Amino acid sequence: MRRLALHLAILALLLGLAMFPTLARATVELRLVVWDGDESLRVLQQVTRDFEQAHPGIKVRLEAVDYRYFFQRLLSQIAGNSAPDVAMMDPQNMQMFAKRGALLPLDPLIAETPGFRLDEYYEPIVAVHRWDGKLFVLPRDIAPIGLIYYNKRLFREAGLAEPDGSWTWDFEPRPELDVGCFTHVMSRLTKKDNTGKVVQWGFAPSWTGAFTDTVVFSQGARYVDDPEAFRRMNFTDPRVIRAFDFVAKLATDRKWMPSQAELTSVVQSTAVDLFISQRVAMYQCGIWDVPKIRKALRPGSPEFFEWDITLAPGYKDPVTGTISRAAPTGGSGYGILASTRYPKEAWLLTQWMAGEPGMRAMAKAGIAQPAIMRLAQGEDWIPGPNTPIEQRYPANRIITDIAAKQVVFPPTADYWTEISGLVFSKTESIYLGTATAKEALTEGQTIASKRLETILKEESLPRFDWRVGCIVGFLLLAGVLGWVYGPELRKKRTTAQRMENRASLWFLAPWLLGALLFAIGPMIFSFLMSFSKWDIIQAADYRGIGNYREALFQDPRFWTTVKVTGVYTLVSVPLGMAFALALALLLNTKVRGIPVYRTFFYLPALASAVASALIWRKIFQPEGGLLNFVLFGKDGRGDFLGLASWLAPNGQLPNWLGDERLALPSLIIMSLWGVGGGMVILLAGLQGIPDYYYEAATLDGAGPWSKFKAVTLPMVSPSLFFTLITGVIGSFQVFTQAFVMTQGGPNDSTRFYMLHLYDQSFGSLRMGYASALAWLLFGAIFVVTRLQWKLNRYVYYEGAA
Amino acid sequence: MSKPGSVTRAKVLGLLGRMLIVGLLVIGCVVFVMPVYTSFAMSLKTPSELATTAAWSWPQNPTVANYDEVLSNPNVNFFRLFWNTVTISTLATIGTVISASLVAYAFAKMKFSGRDRLFAVMLSTMMLPAIVTMIPTYILFKELRWVNTFLPLTVPAFFGGGAFNIFLLRQFFMSIPKELDEAAKIEGAGHWTIYSRVVMPLSGSALATVGVFCFIYNWRDFMGPLIYLNDPQLQTLETGLATYNSLRSEQWHLLMAGSILVTIPLIVIFFLGQRYFVKGISMTGLK
């Protein structure tokens, strides 16, 4: 024991020494944070190395964080006053930082830089990065989603001429226009087998939303009145309704394109993969898919076919006959954080990354369309005679220059994500055929308007008074201590009791200190914030019980999420416990190879959550998915254990994750694969039962069932009690499964409480409100745990003190 | 002595029961191994085979090219990240096992004033979603100048190791028969002696469980390293893996190979750790 302790101590010391990295000190070190993935990160690394060579004395530390967590991390660092110097930004998120003073206005820096020409950049991407007249982000690329990739071979086979980009929607096929009518082209390129099943779609959008946007915007309609700070929404505009109707009809009625649900849960492929495998003839996306297609379709390889890009169709006004085009777009750039100590150097870096050197490198790799017009028209981007063969596709890149001039950015107001989410979760029912576009959009807009009203309500709030906050915090701490020790004060303490108390302090010391140092402070802080309006970046305002009132009486999603989480807990916890106990009992038998079985049963709990999420999506796939294969057999007619006829009375294969009645049960089924943890705990409990208990029971003539009841159950009850309490606490806070699998859909059927809380906290920057939600959850868990604690009476502790 | 006939009947019944158990175990294994098998099969496929075949089909020409690429990617220095992850997970596990067992001993075996209510307070630290305490905690570690070191990910483990682990150990300690510590007390042993000589040696399985859980948790932690570590050289395997799963370019073939590589050490740890799961009270021969 002592030797082991010594070895552990030496090991700890060695590891401790390894923890302090030696940092080389350069004169100026800049931190640059981007969200690029593996491939474009390599390009950026080269670009920053070139920058360091051109500017000796400046070192750049490049950090890459995926978009999904990018802003959460950046916000934490801003709050902790350790923000990077330069960070990537995009139009949707820029305002949230600029408006709150977290970004440096670039105009003064531009004015000081001779020869810098902002007019070389595409005007729309510059305009969208302004707020209140000032520029906050220097754009690095523009990414119109208004391009149609098309397969030349399939066009030829269908006897169609190649599109020149002058086509229009026309809403109904007009064969007389030939390739001039996009809808007609779609219909001609779709192939169905004799059962009516689609074998080749004419068209696929990368995101149905972006496709719908294209139809909406090209008609001249917009979703909101003012993209920077909207107060009114136009979802019931006839042009918007028409667009939603049109897109839904193409997918569900005509079946000329897959719907979003079909893409994500039925085909489980992306539009680009369908294009590469020639299962769609055309698809809509931005230019960033080019490297992937080039890689998959190398000239000369068996997969290769001729392909190119063209402009998305426009809308032809029936009266005037003019054609108007518009494309939704993304785009990104670099902003300088206001907290930087080296604004001059940070500006040099920004100019480099979002200027010629950075853009050239990205353009050459085919990753991003330069935001500087001259470069977007030059040979780095547009193929010329000197372009190597593998970079020659797509040939028609000149159209990206046209596309970039007719883009429409999504609203930049920071509440757009939440508000549009409320509307768009309703529009899913258009595809399910349970509502018309008009009904769904009207309902969505009604709910969203109400929410918008709450968000926009101008409350004149006083600053949060931290002196009062500190006092309340201390009182709270004192209250908790009083609750714990109050009843003890009245009791008489013997010397023995006093000695026991003193001894206990030594044992409790680690936790007491840890709680005091790391836990209590942040908990009190969040409790105080639950009475405030706090956006993380700026100082908090005092809102009284406003957050709690909003949650309980105004938030349209609150009670939905409570219900979803409650149902999940009620079903998954008992089911999981029963499963874990059954497995533990099986593994407690004396069969050979138990260690191997045990490891196998625990495997799902060891595996990576992201990888597992993908595999589970495949398992739940309606056609070709493993679950339906087991239930319905290969031909879809089987009836495993009679479950099939119960699940699919009309003979249609269930779409597990895509059906709002089945999505939550799917997540519950999935959770059963994670019972390994409970199993291990229960197994440790079972292993602790001395054999002579069973021997004694056998001597008394007990059968297996009474042995289980009289020996096993009481002896394992401490572990069972533990799995119950922690299982309920955990499932009230369930988050990851829904975050990676369903994002709360379809139609909010898997919107867990924590998902909503997360969106409010880092998504909408309403940390005060999120804290109130968190403390409401805390209260609920506390009460439920308290009730469950009554079961403690039935738990058999052999050695309770 | 029973009659020979009934012995054979009992034997047949026992054999049947055994076959039933083995059958259930094998079926269970197939079901539970399937997700990991699938990612393994996917990791051995080329991207084009991935796109065209069923996920669980065995690759026609298994290739380790994906593993090669993951291990040699200069952006994600796998061996560096591996060492970082080992360091963090080992330290956090040592800290948790030591400190959680001390605290759990107090809650299970000592009768100090206010114990049950203090236990409720401790348990309640599990009930508040971590997301709302993330920013104040970050500010705290920033003020301690711990950001961009492994300290925020390891030091808290030495201070209690979390309510989950304390609660788990408490449940096990409470199952250790009272006679044992009473006997020790009569012989004049103090709490420290009972803790180190009686309770700890008898709790091998519980300590191994906590240790293995804790190691796996820290190995798989994503948010902690993401928030507290800036330097690419300090990243862990889980954050490194995220490089292959960026929103705009998901590279499933590499992600699957990477995730298998990250999981293998955990399988080894679990397999080794579970030897101790059995060494509970039943091994002491206590009567």
Establish whether domains A27-141+343-395 and A147-328+415-456 are of one fold.
Answer: yes
> pLDDT category, A20, cuts 50, 70, 90?
very low
What is the per-residue pLDDT for A534? Answer: 92
Nearest to A8 by CA among B106, B268, B97, B197: B97
Residue pLDDT, tens place only, A778-796 = 999 999 999 999 998 888 8
Q: Does B127 touch chain A (CB under 8 A)?
A: yes
Token pair belonging to A56: 């000796």
The architecture (CATH level 2) of A147-328+415-456 comes to 3-Layer(aba) Sandwich (3.40)
Annotation: CATH topology of B75-283: MetI-like fold (1.10.3720)
Nearest to B236 by CA among B254, B252, B224: B224
User: Using the beta-carbon criterion (under 8 Å), do A610 and B241 form an inter-chain contact?
Assistant: yes
> pLDDT category, B6, cuts 50, 70, 90?
low
Omega before residue A574 within 30° of 0, cis:
no
**Which of these ranges, A129-143, A607-621, B116-130, has the smallest mean pLDDT?**
A607-621
Amino acid at A165: G
Domain coordinates in residue numbering, chain A: 27-141+343-395, 147-328+415-456, 466-531, 552-608+656-794, 622-654
Domain A552-608+656-794 falls under CATH 1.10.3720.10? yes
B200 has pLDDT over 70: yes
> pLDDT category, B75, cuts 50, 70, 90?
confident
Q: What are phi and psi of B25, to 5 degrees?
A: -60, -45
> How large is the average pLDDT for residues A94-105?
92
Per the CB < 8 A criterion, the answer to whether A350 and A87 are in contact is no
> Which residues in chain B (55-74) have CB-CB distances under 8 A to chain A?
55-56, 73
Facing residues of A203 across strands? A282
Contact residues, chain A, for B169 at CB < 8 Å: none
A385 has pLDDT over 90: no
Residue in chain A lying closest to B248 (CA): A37
Q: Alpha helices of A119-237 — where are they, by DSSP H?
A: 123-128, 152-157, 182-189, 208-218
> How large is the average pLDDT for residues A595-599?
86
Residue pLDDT, tens place only, B95-131 = 999 999 999 999 999 989 899 999 999 999 999 999 9
> pLDDT category, A170, cuts 50, 70, 90?
confident
In Å, what is the CA distance from A662 to each residue of A316, A668, A742, A750, B118? Answer: 42, 10, 12, 10, 42
What is the per-residue pLDDT for A800? Answer: 62
Q: Does B232 touch chain A (CB under 8 A)?
A: yes
> How large is the average pLDDT for residues B55-64?
87
What's the rounded Cα separation, in Å, for the pair A102 and A98? 6
A284 has pLDDT over 80: yes
> How large is the average pLDDT for residues B258-284?
77
User: Using the beta-carbon criterion (under 8 Å), do B246 and A67 form an inter-chain contact?
Assistant: yes
User: Using the beta-carbon criterion (under 8 Å), do B175 and A624 form an inter-chain contact?
Assistant: no
Four-residue CA torsion sign, B72, B77, B83, B89:
negative
Token pair belonging to A398: 């000149």
Q: Which of A775 and A364 is assigned the larger pLDDT?
A: A775
Residue in chain A lying closest to B218 (CA): A606
A44 has pLDDT over 50: yes
User: Using the beta-carbon criterion (under 8 Å), do A523 and B164 form an inter-chain contact?
Assistant: no
Q: How many CB pairs under 8 A join A and B?
A: 392
Q: Does B147 touch chain A (CB under 8 A)?
A: yes
Q: Does A157 touch chain B (CB under 8 A)?
A: no
> pLDDT category, A22, cuts 50, 70, 90?
very low
In Å, what is the CA distance from B33 to each residue of A330, A601, A606, B21, B38? Answer: 41, 7, 11, 18, 9
> How large is the average pLDDT for residues B9-32?
85
Residue in chain A lying closest to B269 (CA): A599
Residue from the list B48, B175, B280 with its beta carbon closest to the beta carbon of A799:
B175
Contact residues, chain B, for A778 at CB < 8 Å: 124, 127-129
Residue from the list B102, B135, B213 with its beta carbon closest to the beta carbon of A507:
B102
What is the per-residue pLDDT for B178? Answer: 84
Contact residues, chain B, for A47 at CB < 8 Å: none
> pLDDT category, B135, cuts 50, 70, 90?
very high
Contact residues, chain B, for A529 at CB < 8 Å: 132
What's the rounded Cα separation, in Å, for the pair A288 and A540? 40
Query: What is the layout of strands, in order, in the sheet containing A191-192?
Result: A191-192, A198-205, A280-285, A147-151, A307-311
Token pair belonging to B263: 């999981």
User: Using the beta-carbon criterion (under 8 Å), do B259 and A277 form an inter-chain contact?
Assistant: no
Residue from the list B226, B263, B282 with its beta carbon closest to the beta carbon of A69:
B226
Q: Does A648 touch chain B (CB under 8 A)?
A: no
Per the CB < 8 A criterion, the answer to whether A416 and A92 are in contact is yes
**Which of these ranges, A495-504, A530-539, A648-657, has the smallest mean pLDDT?**
A648-657
Residue A259 Cα, gap to closest chain B Cα (Å): 19
> How large is the average pLDDT for residues A30-52?
90
Residue B246 Cα, gap to closest chain A Cα (Å): 5
User: Using the beta-carbon criterion (under 8 Å), do B259 and A591 form an inter-chain contact?
Assistant: no
**Which of these ranges, A87-96, A653-662, A756-765, has the smallest mean pLDDT?**
A653-662
What is the per-residue pLDDT for A55? Answer: 93
Q: Which of B167 and A738 is assigned the larger pLDDT?
A: B167
What's the rounded Cα separation, in Å, for the pair B9 and A148? 75
What is the per-residue pLDDT for A553? Answer: 92
pTM listed for this prediction = 0.88
**Which of these ranges, A425-429, A455-459, A711-715, has the smallest mean pLDDT?**
A455-459
- Chain A interface test: which of B175, B182, B218 (most A C-beta within 10 Å): B175
Annotation: CATH topology of A27-141+343-395: D-Maltodextrin-Binding Protein; domain 2 (3.40.190)
**Which of these ranges, A274-283, A645-654, B133-142, B231-240, has the smallest mean pLDDT?**
A645-654
Domain coordinates in residue numbering, chain B: 4-63, 75-283
Question: H/E element holding A613?
Answer: helix A609-619
Other beta carbons within 10 angstroms of residue B154's beta carbon come to 25
Amino acid at B129: P
> pLDDT category, B168, cuts 50, 70, 90?
very high
When the pLDDT of each residue in chain A is averaged and rounded to a whole number, the result is: 88
Amino acid at A38: D
Distance of CA B273 to the CA centre of its chain: 10
Q: Which of B150 and A19 is assigned the larger pLDDT?
A: B150
Distance of CA A475 to the CA centre of its chain: 39
What's the rounded Cα separation, in Å, for the pair A363 and A141? 9
Can you tell me the ipTM of this complex? 0.91
**Which of these ranges, A85-94, A472-481, A791-800, B6-15, has the smallest mean pLDDT?**
B6-15
Instruction: Specify the pairing of strand A191-192 against strand A134-135.
Output: unpaired
Could you tell me what percent of chain A has a pLDDT over 90? 46
Per the CB < 8 A criterion, the answer to whether A326 and A214 are in contact is yes
What's the rounded Cα separation, in Å, for the pair A337 and A334? 10
Question: H/E element holding A736?
Answer: helix A736-741
Q: Which of A333 and A20 is assigned the larger pLDDT?
A: A333
User: Nearest 10 degrees: CA dihedral of A573, A578, A580, A584?
Assistant: 160
User: Using the beta-carbon criterion (under 8 Å), do A77 and B138 form an inter-chain contact?
Assistant: yes
What's the rounded Cα separation, in Å, for the pair A334 and A88? 4
Nearest to B274 by CA among A170, A116, A603: A603
- Chain B interface test: which of A367, A511, A740 (most B C-beta within 10 Å): A511
Amino acid at A773: L
Residue A608 Cα, gap to closest chain B Cα (Å): 6
